[in-house]
Structure 1
Amino acid sequence: MPKLNTRLCRTFIIALNFIVVSAVAQNQQRKIPAENSADAIRAPYIQTLGKPNHWVDSVYHKMSRRQRVAQLIFVRAHTNKGPRYEDSVGRIIKELEVGGLVFFQGGPGRQLNLINKYQKITKVPLLIAMDGEWGLGMRLDSTISYPYQMTLGAIQDNTLIYKMGQQVAYDFKRIGMQLNFGPDMDINNNPNNPVINYRSFGDNMYNVAKKGIAYFTGMQASGLLTTAKHFPGHGDTNVDSHFDLPLLPYSRARLDSLEEYPFREAVNAGISGVMIAHMSIPALDSTKNLPSTLSRPIVTGMLKDSLRFKGLVVSDAMEMKGVTKYFPNGDADVRAFIAGNDIIELSENSERAIKLIRKAVRRGQISPEEFEAKVKKVLAAKYWAGLNQYKSASPVNLSEDLNRQPAKELVQQLSDASVTLIKGDAATVKLNPFLKTAILSIGVSSPTVFQQEAARSFPNSKIFMVDKNTPAIELKNILGLLNQYQQIIVGVHDTRLRPQSKLDYTSDVKLMIADLASRKNTVISVFANAYTIAGLPGIEKSNALLVCYQMSPELQKSAVKVIAGVLKPTGKLPVSVNTFFTTGTGMQ
């Protein structure tokens, strides 16, 4: 018997060591701080709803009706508007006892301190949200920006996007936030869409669904609440709902089979929240000029009843013209509440919204059971996020934590995996490092990362720059000089803050690109929205053409790796650009 016990003990120790080593290896592979690994044992938010929760019940029963309504109201916050604005938000928190905040532009240190300050003056902890489609960098300075969703749409390995979700979750939680208004799960099948566009994973509904699910499951597994937007699909519009009400004129069958698909898949995969778009959709609700946010057939009938979504339903910003144009003076807030939204985001007047919604509850415009469920759903989200045991965020080493090396390495990995070769092959894209080489960046007035990196790999080279408004005579002179070089590396750059569908180049500069595309031993890399290629006639004749989607330093480095032959381009075009380059194009 003693020998048997010894053998059992030895077996147990070996098994235990294996478990420990495996756990450590997984954390190292994920490259996230070890504290986040504890989130893996937490049940998904959706699965906690409807189950007994003493904290939620206790907080709910201590509230007045006005306080319960206020839990559904989320107000705007900034850290770049000065002390007076910050104090005004503080007064709203203290006087109205709102449920949460939505932060916009500012800095991470200032925001962390302000969140700590605001949480100290509220009776029930605030749920803090922000739009972080590509991480904190979407709103905050001095933080990491992950690639745009169109860029991610080109990636073939979705585990990288899952890892990005984990990193984004860490960043949000590090500065005291619990809710990300992302991912964007719209199918961008309209190249002229002014508001979604590069924020979408692409125009293929299956790819959009898979990428969106990978992203939000990574965030949720690391303890962050998420929101798929903009239900039932804002991709095929040509109006920005910030300024007017877009019309989605398609049939119910088309909407069910296309626009709704990623959201249906997200619901099935356990997304914690869904944001409703401001759109007029006659096939779903024929009420004239009624935004989908205010439509009970859409919010409750489609999302809650048909799709059986049980999580947080969030309105898009209620201050947007797409909703206030036809429903002013707080009418929109009440209608959004009755339609089925759980969180009323950014009302024009939060105090008025609380009064009007409170009156609607008193008049029985919504059942007591539904009202109670809304409030408890918000409280349950706070409980799931750990706000029942709130701890303030620490400012110590904040900058280092938010700009940690593993996260930066992941940005480069994502960039490397997105580069898409849409014309040419391995032989034509790889240039000879010993030949006389011209390295030309177009659309810029100073040397680019692309040029600096290329110069290291091609030592026998010279850098040229062409501004987007360079006069025709100068362009002619540069083209003449380029005749002296055996090979040309070209970068087409969009230096604007957000990559639009059309480049703001002069026609002469575009003609220069066509000339370069017709030359042999030339490789062109486009660091701009993929749709811009359609506005560059002649570029389809390129010897080798790389799509790099945006002008980030990481993507410029990735392109040089491909041209130098040290990286294989594995990306696939996530949108159809024109008849030459359709969705899925990509040569490896």
Structure 2
Amino acid sequence: MQLIKNVFCTVISTICLATLTASAQRPNIITTLTEQNRWVDSVYNKLSKKERIGQLFYVRAHTNKGRAYEDSVGRVIAEEHVGGLVFFQGGPVRHANLINNYQKLSRVPLLIAMDGEWGLGMRLDSSFSFPYQMTLGAIQDNNLIYKMGQMVAYDFRRLGMHINFAPDMDVNNNPNNPVINYRSFGDNKYNVAQKGIAYFKGMQDGGVITFAKHFPGHGDTNVDSHFDLPQLPFSRERLDSLEMYPFRQAINAGIGGVMIAHLNIPSLDTTKKLPSTLSREIVTNILKDSLGFKGIVASDAMEMKGVTKNFPNGDADVRAFIAGNDLLELSENSVVAARLIKKAIRQKKISKEEFEAKIKKLLAAKYWAGLNNYKPVNPAGLIADINRPASAELMQQLSDAAITLLKGDSRTLRHNPLMKTAIVSIGVNQPTTFQKELSKWYPNGMIFMVDKNASVPTLNRMLSTLKGFDQVYVAIHDTRTRPQSKLDYSVDVKLLVAELAAKPNSVVSVFANPYAIAGLPGIEKSGALLECYQKDDALQRAAVKVITGQQKPIGKLPVSVNVFFTTGQSVTSL
């Protein structure tokens, strides 16, 4: 049985490798989008005006909302002739089967999209997640990130999907950013550009259309555009040299798509309360003309309050269309919006030539994705394919390369294995992978767990017990699905961290957003400090490898945390 399993895994890996190698030979996407194409012309000429307008719209789809919801999306496909779908939560097999069903309803094959910044696991159950972009920002070998892009592309194509609304190429220079944050590669524009290019090239070479987001840059905001309209109050010079830099580099490197943010930017467009999505100055004059972008311009979700608050009832969609967006994502009301766009075309608010170019560009994207020769997805073996051993191996490689030593050396990291050792995990209520792995190296070790809201008497009892230990390893865990800049620990538990860090022979590992370090005063007093970025088991194993001398820490901090720990910091000479 084990032999059969090994053979199966080898076959899957071989197929995957062959697929990735073959996909690297794909034609340049920008060339495909801009050259005349007989298939595109043929399809365009057969479409009615309503069907052509429908190609602009990409509507929401789920497989966790029940049959009635799924059927309602099917009716939208059949009646509105939309260009594509954006899939959200659900399961991979259900997604594949539903995509097959939806494709049968469409006269022109649908482009299927998803936000998968760290892979399918960002949206789907039973599927694989790679590291967040902030974690990737610490890695010095961009080839690993390229390989991750290829892996993500394989997973997308395996499910019948063609677009990943990724990578996030915002420069996150605001630690309190509520919506970008750990989704960014960091606060260094050069690092963001290099990592973003490596990631998108891996995906595009794997046959997936990628979108750099959120132009012209959502990294220095303290408002979530899902709920309100953020403002960027910076000069054109600042935006051009900092926020736009990664996008300019991505465009020069051949990215196929750019997504526009919902931001009010007075230095670029003086119209009051106007989101950048609806600004022709920003979308057409700057992005398309000044930066020379010839790919697909997509709006951010048109149902977000950042755009609908001041432009309701389809007004936002028609303005986004006129501004220069090619793809309208998640319209609040696509029926009304399509009617308003048809009226705008009739009133010559956009030229016939520009409208035709938009639709042909979207059809050309379908051609590049292979939809001129559409084949349904085979769901057999899908779960095994998207959870293959090669993905786990790459995840461990990425994790090993990300671990960042902010303070300490081999002497302060690795203590005498025969000494009495406390191994403490904070923010959890059961033993962690970190504790289990580290315990193998310290036979005289004892595991302690501290709930994030532990009572003062409980904390005092533990501190009293720890007086009998010679050394202490402390792990800080953020177990939330989305790791924010501040830990949700009680004040007393944060004080405990400071006390533990001040102990002789203390080593602290932070499995949390690096910004969280700033909210733990006293942590800098530890004998050694490792930033490990997120809660995943692979990163916990990687930290143990560094502590025990199995590997060197080679990651570098991708953001500035405070005066003690700044961008690019690391201790690598062990």
After TM superposition, give the deviation of residue 30 of structure 1 in Å. Answer: 10
Matched residue, 2:256: 272
Match of 1:142, as an amino acid?
A: S
Q: Does 1:546 align with 2:530?
A: yes
State how 1:219-230 maps to structure 2 within 5 Å: 219-230=203-214
Matched residue, 1:53: 37
Q: Does 1:438 align with 2:422?
A: yes
Deviations 1:307-344 (A, max 9, x none): 00000000000000000000011000000000000000
Instruction: Measure, in 2, the Cα distance between the counterparts of 1:524 and 1:103.
Output: 40
Instruction: Measure, in 1, the Cα distance between the counterparts of 2:22 and 2:278.
Output: 39
Deviations 1:218-254 (A, max 9, x none): 0111111000000000000000000000010000000
Deviations 1:167-205 (A, max 9, x none): 000000000000000000000000000000000000000
Deviations 1:378-408 (A, max 9, x none): 0000000000000001111101100000111
Matched residue, 2:477: 493
Which one of the candidate residues 326, 337, 345 is aligned to 1:342? 326
Secondary structure of the corresponding residue to residue 350 of structure 2:
coil
Matched residue, 1:477: 461
Which one of the candidate residues 344, 354, 361 is aligned to 1:377? 361
Matched residue, 1:520: 504
Instruction: Measure, in 2, the Cα distance between the counterparts of 1:153 and 1:30.
Output: 29
Match of 1:464, as an amino acid?
A: F
Q: Does 1:113 align with 2:104?
A: no
Which one of the candidate residues 297, 300, 310 is aligned to 1:313? 297
Range with greater deviation from structure 2 (545-554 or 476-485)? 476-485
Match of 1:280, as an amino acid?
A: N
Which one of the candidate residues 453, 459, 482 is aligned to 2:437? 453
Match of 1:485, as an amino acid?
A: F
Deviations 1:79-102 (A, max 9, x none): 000000000000000111100000
State how 1:44-443 maps to structure 2 within 5 Å: 44-443=28-427
Distance 1:528-1:30 versus aligned 2 partners, 3 A rule = farther
Secondary structure of the corresponding residue to residue 571 of structure 1:
coil
Matched residue, 1:5: none
Task: Please tell me whether the aligned partners of residues 13 and 390 of structure 2 are also in contact (alpha carbons under 8 angstroms).
Answer: no
Instruction: Measure, in 2, the Cα distance between the counterparts of 1:173 and 1:55.
Output: 22
Give me the TM-score of the superposition, normalised by structure 1: 0.94
Match of 2:359, as an amino acid?
A: V
Distance 1:542-1:29 versus aligned 2 partners, 3 A rule = farther
Instruction: Measure, in 2, the Cα distance between the counterparts of 1:478 and 1:145.
Output: 35
Match of 1:350, as an amino acid?
A: S
The runs of 5 or more residues in structure 2 that have no matched partner are 1-10
Matched residue, 2:6: none
After TM superposition, give the deviation of residue 479 of structure 1 in Å. Answer: 1.0
After TM superposition, give the deviation of residue 476 of structure 1 in Å. Answer: 1.3
Instruction: Measure, in 2, the Cα distance between the counterparts of 1:185 and 1:144.
Output: 22
Secondary structure of the corresponding residue to residue 501 of structure 1:
coil
Instruction: Measure, in 1, the Cα distance between the counterparts of 2:201 and 2:497.
Output: 42
Q: Does 1:586 align with 2:570?
A: yes
Instruction: Measure, in 2, the Cα distance between the counterparts of 1:46 and 1:38.
Output: 19
Matched residue, 2:5: none
Task: Please tell me whether the aligned partners of residues 32 and 365 of structure 2 are also in contact (alpha carbons under 8 angstroms).
Answer: no
Instruction: Measure, in 1, the Cα distance between the counterparts of 2:211 and 2:218.
Output: 15
Deviations 1:435-491 (A, max 9, x none): 221110001111111111111222221110111111112111111111211211110
Matched residue, 1:3: none
After TM superposition, give the deviation of residue 32 of structure 1 in Å. Answer: 3.8
After TM superposition, give the deviation of residue 64 of structure 1 in Å. Answer: 1.1
Matched residue, 1:503: 487
Matched residue, 1:13: none
Secondary structure of the corresponding residue to residue 193 of structure 1:
coil
After TM superposition, give the deviation of residue 427 of structure 1 in Å. Answer: 2.1
Match of 2:285, as an amino acid?
A: G
Query: Which consecutive aligned stretches of 4+ in structure 1 deviate over 4 angstroms post-superposition?
Result: 27-31
Match of 2:66, as an amino acid?
A: G
Secondary structure of the corresponding residue to residue 49 of structure 1:
helix
Range with greater deviation from structure 2 (242-251 or 41-50)? 41-50
Instruction: Measure, in 1, the Cα distance between the counterparts of 2:115 and 2:103.
Output: 20
Deviations 1:390-434 (A, max 9, x none): 000111110110000011100011011000000112221223323
Match of 1:511, as an amino acid?
A: L
Secondary structure of the corresponding residue to residue 53 of structure 2:
helix
After TM superposition, give the deviation of residue 355 of structure 1 in Å. Answer: 0.9
Instruction: Measure, in 2, the Cα distance between the counterparts of 1:47 and 1:359.
Output: 32
The runs of 5 or more residues in structure 1 that have no matched partner are 1-26
Give me the TM-score of the superposition, normalised by structure 2: 0.97
After TM superposition, give the deviation of residue 155 of structure 1 in Å. Answer: 0.3
Match of 1:54, as an amino acid?
A: R
Instruction: Measure, in 1, the Cα distance between the counterparts of 2:360 and 2:145.
Output: 32
Task: Please tell me whether the aligned partners of residues 60 and 68 of structure 1 are also in contact (alpha carbons under 8 angstroms).
Answer: yes
Sequence identity percentage: 68
Secondary structure of the corresponding residue to residue 56 of structure 1:
helix
Instruction: Measure, in 2, the Cα distance between the counterparts of 1:403 and 1:371.
Output: 42
After TM superposition, give the deviation of residue 50 of structure 1 in Å. Answer: 2.7
Deviations 1:47-81 (A, max 9, x none): 22332211100000011111111001000000000
After TM superposition, give the deviation of residue 36 of structure 1 in Å. Answer: 2.8
Matched residue, 1:12: none
Distance 1:30-1:313 versus aligned 2 partners, 3 A rule = farther
